[in-house]
Amino acid sequence: MNTKLSNDEIRIVTPDVKWKDITRGGTISEAANARLFKTGDWRSMKPVWLQEKCKQCLLCYPVCPDTSVLVNEEGMMTGFDYDHCKGCGVCAKVCPFKAIDFVEESK
């Protein structure tokens, strides 16, 4: 994850930024800031990780279109980034061990 952005720069892409603080002409002044744009609220269905069934095969990781399958430094799957997961369900579909449930967001 990019940790270069300061708090000031993060403020620039928030919905409540004022005209004096926004970047000039809409220029995106720093690369790798997509993480600042939260897309989790687009979701109507969500994946749920069932740790006891997971064999750590990691087939879910490469199919996620949004790098929302969290993998730690030891290379182990640890759950989902619900701030950015849009609920497409591809991970649940691809899992050979039924270790990912795909349920309605409200449940």
Q: Rounded to an integer, what distance in angstroms lies between the CA atom of residue 47 and that of residue 69?
A: 10
Instruction: For residue 70, list its beta bridge partners.
Output: 79
**Could you say which of 2, 6, 29, 78 contacts other proteins (CB under 8 A)?**
29
Select the span of 18-26, 53-61, 84-92, 99-107 touching other proteins (CB under 8 A): 18-26
Interaction between residue 3 and other proteins (CB under 8 A): no
From residue 77, alpha-carbon distances to 21, 70, 100 in Å are 39, 6, 12
Query: At its nearest, how many Å lie between other proteins and the CB of residue 15?
Result: 5
Q: How far out from the chain centre does Cα 89 lie?
A: 13
Query: At its nearest, how many Å lie between other proteins and the CB of residue 84?
Result: 18
Which residues would be at the binding site for other proteins (CB under 8 A)? 15, 17-20, 22, 24-31
